[in-house]
């Protein structure tokens, strides 16, 4: 099974304005590869608030490829993979909105939300934000850098698998009452957790 953590940053409040993507591959209980790509949003409109969060400006992406070309590079990796994101509702809405913008079909994959997993596995944490989980796990990273966010999401998922004695990250849902989300050519289903 392929498991890949993913994180998007956006240029403005529109979900289809991805300006960066980070991916981190999990194999045999460790992060084996991390990639980041800048993305040129179709309308090149950047909001000051978003720039303040991630530091990406229009001049950083003016020569970058647009969303379809960037994601096509990872097509074979993503096909059939279990994807994971911290607050997957956001990242997968960015992915869907970007595909919709370019009239492209959705890939076939299963996805997990590491935020929902952390809430279930570590209920005693005061917050389940990625930076605070990283702090708890002793991980240093640059928050809102897509590659670093994806890598920390992957590392946190590995620790969560250990915490529930799962053989792999993709085995966590069955142990915590989670139903993985799905993206298919026909649409999507959200990642959900049974009420405890």
Which pLDDT belongs to residue 155? 97
How far apart are the C-alpha atoms of 14 and 35, rounded to whole Å?
A: 24
Per-residue pLDDT tens digits for 166-185: 999 999 999 999 999 999 99
User: Tens-of-pLDDT digits for all 196 residues of the chain?
Assistant: 789 999 999 999 999 999 999 999 999 999 999 999 999 999 999 999 999 999 999 999 999 999 999 999 999 999 889 999 999 999 999 999 999 999 999 999 999 999 999 999 999 999 999 999 999 999 988 889 999 999 999 999 999 999 999 999 999 999 999 999 999 998 999 999 987 6
Per-residue pLDDT tens digits for 76-113: 999 889 999 999 999 999 999 999 999 999 999 999 99
Taking the alpha carbons of 141, 145, 147, 152 in that order, is the dihedral positive or negative?
A: positive
Domains in the chain: ranges and CATH: 3-193 (3.30.420.10)
Q: Cβ contacts of residue 16 below 8 Å, gap of 6+? A: 41, 42, 94, 97, 98, 100, 101
Which pLDDT belongs to residue 196? 63
Which pLDDT belongs to residue 169? 96
How far apart are the C-alpha atoms of 42 and 11, rounded to whole Å?
A: 10
Alpha-helix residue ranges (DSSP H) falling in the chain = 48-54, 58-61, 67-72, 75-78, 88-101, 114-121, 130-137, 146-163, 172-176
Which pLDDT belongs to residue 52? 97
Which pLDDT belongs to residue 111? 97
Residues counted in the chain = 196
């Amino acid at each position: 099974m392929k498991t890949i953590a993913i994180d998007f940053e956006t240029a403005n409040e529109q979900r289809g304005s991805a300006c960066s993507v980070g991916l981190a591959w999990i194999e045999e209980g460790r992060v084996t590869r991390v990639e980041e790509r800048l993305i040129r949003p179709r309308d090149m409109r950047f909001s000051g608030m978003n720039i303040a969060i991630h530091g990406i400006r229009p001049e950083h992406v003016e020569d970058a490829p647009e969303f379809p070309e960037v994601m096509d590079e990872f097509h074979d990796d993503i096909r059939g993979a279990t994807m994971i994101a911290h607050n997957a509702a956001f990242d997968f809405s960015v992915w869907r909105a970007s595909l919709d913008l370019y009239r492209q079909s959705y890939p076939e994959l299963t996805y997990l939300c590491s935020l929902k997993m952390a809430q279930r596995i570590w209920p005693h944490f005061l917050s389940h934000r990625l930076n605070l989980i990283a702090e708890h796990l002793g991980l240093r990273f640059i928050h809102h850098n897509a590659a670093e966010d994806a890598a920390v999401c992957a590392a946190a998922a590995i620790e969560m698998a250990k915490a529930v004695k799962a053989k792999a990250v993709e085995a966590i849902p069955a142990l915590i009452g989670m139903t993985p989300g799905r993206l298919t050519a026909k649409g999507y289903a959200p990642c959900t957790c049974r009420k405890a």
